[in-house]
Amino acid sequence: MAEPMKIRATLKGDVADVRILMLHPMETGQRKDAKGEIVPVHFIKNVVVMHNGKIVLDAQWSQAISRNPFLGIHVKGAKAGDKISVKWTDNKGETRTDETTVAAPS
Amino acid sequence: MLKLRGGIAAIFISVLFNNAFAADSLAVGREMLAEDNPGDLWVQRGERLFHEKRGPKKASFEACDFGLGPGKLEGAFAELPRYFPDTDRVQDLESRLVTCMMTLQGFTYQEAVKNHFGNLDHMSDMEALATFVASRSNGAKMNVRLSHQKEYDVFKAGEYIFHRRSGPLDFACATCHTENGKRIRLQDLPNMTDPAQIRAVVAGWPAYLGTKSTVLTMQNRLYECVWQMRLPDLGYLSDMSIALTTYLNHQGNGALIHVPGVRR
């Protein structure tokens, strides 16, 4: 079902303020559904953020991260028009990659 | 002497700042949430569903009339609920979406209202669609007109229900929502007789709820209200729900629409 992420990247000086919203159930494996059965664990285990093809963040996540996670990072040395791409992989092997360009400060 | 004066000034400034901070600390958190509102993901998803060809007739919502003409979305939500001649009813956003799912896309009523409320186990298409359509009216002012007799009747019904005490707790909406400074536990309750407070309410629904990790529509919110009042379950798209929505939106006329809102 992997839905698109929402990524914003705006330049502040030579630092890009990158804000990423992801849509993911992030099941802890401890919640029970309406029938009383345990909902299997389902979480994003790896997030990679790339700046013009170069990895700037490679994060290992666990089920402790909230549902529909928000991630904010600052990327140094960015210029307007640079490409920021984000890829997540979850424990079921599903992935989603989205890309945005760094916007000039408004 | 100079030193003393400086000290007094410093204390004075720090008091000023402390007060400002205490009052604004909630607002700061709300602002942070609103800046990166997960509800925006529902708008994205709703936009995709809106243009997708769905149902037995393989049609999108692009020809759906929300009151301003087929496919016209900008500002349409600001005038809902309104009277629609084709169905001869006053309809809110969600009942209009259901009408289009039946007439344009060929779904049955049961299929159209299936999974109308999302929860932790499944997401609701209806909530995404409603959020998307409502968000197209962002920047417009709420302007519910009661120009048709049926609109006026529905508004009066809503006003009556708002003030009518009922149920095992002998409760009305007005019991909690007509005075300033009321709280339920730690939650401030809006006084819906105050134009500024009711506008803040109607401007931001559908809204993303942090505690539920999902977007709630006005229908869903009213269902929760009625459940909290220990009344029988509020029927989805029922006359009562539309009457209350009409009353509230009309009371909130002039509100600057900013959807999705974000709530705790």
For B224-248, the pLDDT digits (tens) are: 999 988 999 998 999 999 999 999 9
Q: How buried is residue B45: exposed, middle or buried, by Cβ count under 10 Å (0-12/13-18/19+)?
A: buried
Nearest to B121 among A34, A66, A68 (CB): A34
When pLDDT is cut at 50, 70 and 90, the band that residue B5 belongs to is low
**Distance to chain A for B200, nearest Cα, Å:** 25
Of B32 and B127, which is predicted with more confidence? B127
Residues of B whose CB is below 8 A from A68: 38, 41, 213
In sequence order, what are the beta bridge partners of B65? B70
Chain-centroid distance, C-alpha A67: 12
In sequence order, what are the beta bridge partners of A84? A51, A100
Nearest CA to B17 out of B5, B7, B29, B25 is that of B25
Nearest CA to B165 out of B175, B157, B155, B153 is that of B175
The answer to whether the beta carbons of residues A10 and A60 sit under 8 Å apart is no
Residues of A whose CB is below 8 A from B121: 33-34, 39
**Distance to chain B for A1, nearest Cα, Å:** 11
What is the ipTM, given to two decimal places?
A: 0.78
Nearest CA to B43 out of B129, B106, B153 is that of B129
Q: Which residue has the tokens 């000023």?
A: B16
d(CA A58, CA A69): 16
The answer to whether the beta carbons of residues B165 and B171 sit under 8 Å apart is yes
A6-101 CATH, one of 2.40.10.10, 2.60.40.10, 3.40.50.1970, 3.40.50.2300 = 2.60.40.10
Nearest CA to B63 out of B75, B73, B74 is that of B73
Residues of A whose CB is below 8 A from B35: 19
**Distance to chain B for A33, nearest Cα, Å:** 7
Tell which B residues from 124 to 163 touch A, by Cβ distance under 8 Å. none
Which two structure tokens, joined as six digits, stand for B247? 């009353």
Residue of B nearest to A23 (CA): B41
Which two structure tokens, joined as six digits, stand for B42? 């529902």
Which two structure tokens, joined as six digits, stand for B53? 């060809």
Q: Would you name the residues of B annotated as active-site residues?
A: 225
How are beta strands B183-184 and A70-76 bridged, if at all?
A: unpaired
Identify the pLDDT of residue B87: 92
Identify the pLDDT of residue B3: 52
- CB distance B121–A68 less than 8 Å? no
Residues of A whose CB is below 8 A from B213: 66-68
How are beta strands A15-21 and B187-188 bridged, if at all?
A: unpaired
- B153-191, pLDDT tens digit by residue? 999 999 999 999 998 999 899 998 998 888 888 778 889
- Per DSSP, B78 falls in state G
- CB distance A3–B44 less than 8 Å? yes
- B199-212, pLDDT tens digit by residue? 988 888 899 988 88
Fold that domain B39-263 belongs to in CATH:
Cytochrome Bc1 Complex; Chain D, domain 2 (1.10.760)
Identify the pLDDT of residue B80: 87
- CB distance A21–B45 less than 8 Å? no
- CB distance A4–B44 less than 8 Å? yes
Residue of B nearest to A31 (CA): B120
Mean pLDDT confidence for B84-90: 92
Size of interface A-B (CB pairs under 8 A): 33
Helix and strand counts by DSSP (H, E) for chain A: 0, 7
Q: pTM for the whole thing?
A: 0.83
List residues of chain A with CB under 8 Å from any CB of chain B. 3-4, 6, 8, 19, 21, 23, 25, 31, 33-34, 39, 66-68, 70, 72
